[in-house]
Amino acid sequence: MLVVLSTTGALAGEITVQIPGGNEKIGAETFGDIAYFSVSDLAGVLGHRISWDIPGLSAELTVNRHSVVFYINSPYVNLDDTVKNVTFPIEIKRGCIYAPIQTALPIIDVISPERIVWDNDRHLIRVSSEYYTITDMALSEKANGLLIELFVSEPKEFELYQSEGNWLNITIPDATVNSRQLISRKSSTFMRDMNVFQFEASSQISLRLRKPFGKITHRFTANPGRIQISLIDTTAMPVVSAGPDRVVGPDDHIDKVVIDAGHGGRDYGAIGLDGTQEKKIVLDIAKRLAKLIRKEKIFEVVMTRDKDDYVPLDERARIANESGGDVFISIHANASLKRSARGFQVFFLAPALNDEARAAAQLENAVFLSEQTAFGAHEGDDLSMILSDMIQNEFQEESSDFAAMVDREFRKDLSKHTRARGMDQAGFFVLNGVYMPSVLVESAFLTNEQDEKLLKSKDYRQDVAESIYAGLKRFKAKYENK
């Protein structure tokens, strides 16, 4: 093993991650003639998250219900409470975690829904979803019930049975299931709970539906291959009412995009070290994005503002909903008390998981909170109640997916200029009440000298717009071709 590891030691700088649909670059370093890869970068590419248990000492990579804890300067990691030896110590460089390729990558493969292997001949990491026979799931409400579709890579026999507690269980022999992808489809509208199990000889998907269901019909359908399960005459689906005049999207097609340029008018947003105003920067990016969209005519554009006007947040949500929009993109520039903080980031709506995400949300929410105070908002309408409502957003899974796609495009085009801070979630008020998949983009930090120069550059603002547009087209292609 020492011989093999040493032969890969020439790697440094970056290595390629081969994923379905393209390639990504992640950090690579050599420590003592041993090749290491950036666990932090790989987690970002795969849409996983790393959190520091003890900053600078130990960090945890969590995937679904599994985790790996890395201990800096130690060759031992903790895989789901089992100690594993990766032979060489975990390293940290520029705030990123590095682990030896040959010994640590197989451990990440264990907890990841994708198949992840190191191709030593080609010096790249291969990530393959073709490893799975059950690849995705969709739920849709029909006039006479609920349709559940399990997408499979090949025809498969399956068994259905009901169990106590209103569980519907689908067992598929000789199958492997993409657990992370299916769990991301969990819908609070249709179900109370969901479990995905991978056994040695079969896979099982268990859905706990909200209310008892009646007759069940099922069949296998080709092009694309999928198992269709219809719950006939069921009351399992609560109908979400948005009022007589509000259109709740998206429909079967993603063809109308709402672009929201943050701040405006008397709300300057963040102010850069050189006096650059966020409201002007993000309006320019929004207009560039709109121009790209209108040129190809794949989508229709709706803008919450197209000039230097102040638009209250509730008005932005009203414009988005009443226009019948299918996706909502809010564009911003970040700020921090730390002058060293820099980079781009994409958020979707959910309670913040870390201090940085919470700080970003507080910054963008500041004007909204002052509006509430000015108009005599009730003291009981505090942040915890608002966040509780946010959790019920039925498009949270799609928003997370959309954010991951935009983040992937940002990494391709913007990482050469500034830092990739990864996808995250937080409680942004501008996204609350928008009834469609929605993301908030932080294009860079105005409070960082290098990032401010980037944001003042027309080329960088054009790159931001083009990356958002590429992510948007990727999202359309995926959700219209299920």
Domains and CATH numbers, the chain: 2-128 (3.30.457.10), 134-232 (2.60.40.3500), 256-479 (3.40.630.40)
Separation in Å, CA 450 to CA 53, 217, 262, 273, 415: 30, 60, 22, 10, 13
Q: What is the pLDDT of residue 143?
A: 65
User: Order of strands, edge to edge, in the sheet holding 34-38?
Assistant: 91-93, 96-100, 34-38, 22-31, 13-19, 124-128, 115-119
Confidence band (pLDDT; 50, 70, 90) for 6? very low
Determine the 3-state secondary structure of 158 from DSSP.
coil
- Please provide the average confidence, as pLDDT, over all residues in the chain: 79
Mean pLDDT across 391-413: 78
Q: What is the pLDDT of residue 423?
A: 77
Determine the 3-state secondary structure of 413 from DSSP.
helix
Q: Which two tokens stand for residue 141?
A: 């409400």
User: At residue 286, does pLDDT exceed 80?
Assistant: yes
Decide if 61 contacts 39 (C-beta within 8 A): yes
User: At residue 34, does pLDDT exceed 80?
Assistant: yes
Which of 104-113, 346-355, 397-406 is the least confident region? 346-355
How many Cα atoms are found within 13 Å in the side-chain-facing hemisphere of 217? 8
Q: How far apart are CA 437 and CA 250, in angstroms?
A: 8
Q: How far apart are CA 69 and CA 79, in angstroms?
A: 7
pLDDT digits (tens, 9 = 90+) for 44-81: 888 777 888 787 788 999 876 788 999 999 999 999 87
Q: What pTM was estimated for this model as a whole?
A: 0.48
Q: How far apart are CA 77 and CA 70, in angstroms?
A: 5
Of 200 and 219, the structure prediction assigns the larger pLDDT to: 219
Query: H or E segment at 465?
Result: helix 458-479
User: At residue 25, does pLDDT exceed 70?
Assistant: yes
pLDDT digits (tens, 9 = 90+) for 290-312: 999 999 988 999 999 999 999 88
Separation in Å, CA 311 to CA 11, 196, 276, 298, 430: 51, 44, 20, 27, 11
User: At residue 393, does pLDDT exceed 70?
Assistant: no
Q: What is the pLDDT of residue 237?
A: 39
Q: Are strands 124-128 and 13-19 parallel, antiparallel or unpaired?
A: parallel
User: At residue 151, does pLDDT exceed 50?
Assistant: yes
pLDDT digits (tens, 9 = 90+) for 220-265: 877 778 898 888 754 433 333 333 343 444 456 788 999 999 889 9
CA dihedral 348, 270, 40, 90 (to 10 degrees): -140
Q: What is the pLDDT of residue 130?
A: 54
